[in-house]
Chains A and B, each alone.
Chain A
């Protein structure tokens, strides 16, 4: 039985055009929050959670999310952690320094999603820094930090991947949804393709 990749839709607007291709190709299915618990968590291969998720609702379904991970799923979380929905995650921590230098994104480990994106491409949009992230969800012990903010001082892990000891992987991006990183929709759609590629590589 195949494992399904899901986009958990939490917003009135839906996933938006950057997801058109992966949905049309049948690689990703959009599911509304209230429908999620009706699924067998073990059937889920990957789950994208957006920065608009109802975290109080999600925390009440922690057992379901953890069962999904225990079954080997890859969970991509966007946004700020403000509730307890996966053991090991901690509450969002903003940068203390809010200067342009602190907002600079520095690559710490290679990752297929970020492969050839230079730090500056992530740091600046129209020459302005601070859109990519302004803090971190603290990385669990054993997580691989992919990108840091303020590498010189606070060294906050804005992106990390955690191979969870009990199974599955969690990828955290502590900013806006990853697919609004770039100016051009095509680049964001390419990023979405990479996220789905990565979720498909579950063991």
Chain B
């Protein structure tokens, strides 16, 4: 029997895009709890199966929770670090290099962002096609050798990966920032991404 609970919780930093993007539908309907990170208590993880840190949540809110998140991982939990949350500061074994996104690739007719899927049998790819993940990315990871890379950028460098060996649980990291743009209503593609991503997390939870 698992030692973690059943909830999907999302930690956020109280910005307009978090209040709109996490605490309002559709995402609020797909998760169990949105938690304003400064109000987080370690006991919030008791009932959680998956803890997501929403895009651009300032690491000053999450770094103090690193030990709680590590304990949660080590009892079998899953932690998702979304884009621009600086997970190298609060998750183990993370090497990350930020870069200036290419916001303009789509101006060239027929152009693509150049993402490619890796680990093709991973359940994530049944939920989200590469095209649905292609707006821009904010950096690249250098994951541990045992990690499963899910998405790579044009040069083949990882922008999303899963690490099930660095802790007792499962870490998913990405340099995509869907909640930021969904919550700001700037990039339409990010809203279906957010819906499909959280629906996928629900499936992952029920498979446990």
Contact = CB atoms under 8 A, between A and B. Distances in A.
B185 A135 contact: yes
B107 A10 contact: no
Interface stretch (B13-21, B122-130, B156-164): B13-21
B14 A57 contact: yes
Contacts of B185: 94, 134-135
Determine the interface band of chain A, counting residues with CB < 8 A from chain B: 20 to 34
Interface residues of B, number: 21
Interface string A11-52: 110000000000000000000000000000000000000011
A54 interface: yes
B56 interface: yes
Nearest to B17: A80
B15 A55 contact: yes
Nearest to B21: A82
Contact of B56 (A52, A81, A83, A134): A52
Interface in A144-164: none
Contacts of B60: 12
Interface string A44-85: 000000011111110000000000000000000001111100
Given A94-B185, A134-B185, A55 B19 contact: yes
A92 interface: yes
A51 B183 CA distance: 12
Given A11-B56, A79-B16, 15 more contacts: A11-B58, A12-B86, A51-B184, A52-B15, A54-B13, A54-B14, A55-B14, A56-B36, A80-B16, A82-B16, A82-B20, A92-B20, A128-B107, A130-B186, A134-B186
Interface of B: 13-17, 19-20, 36, 38, 56, 58-60, 84, 86, 104, 107, 184-186, 188
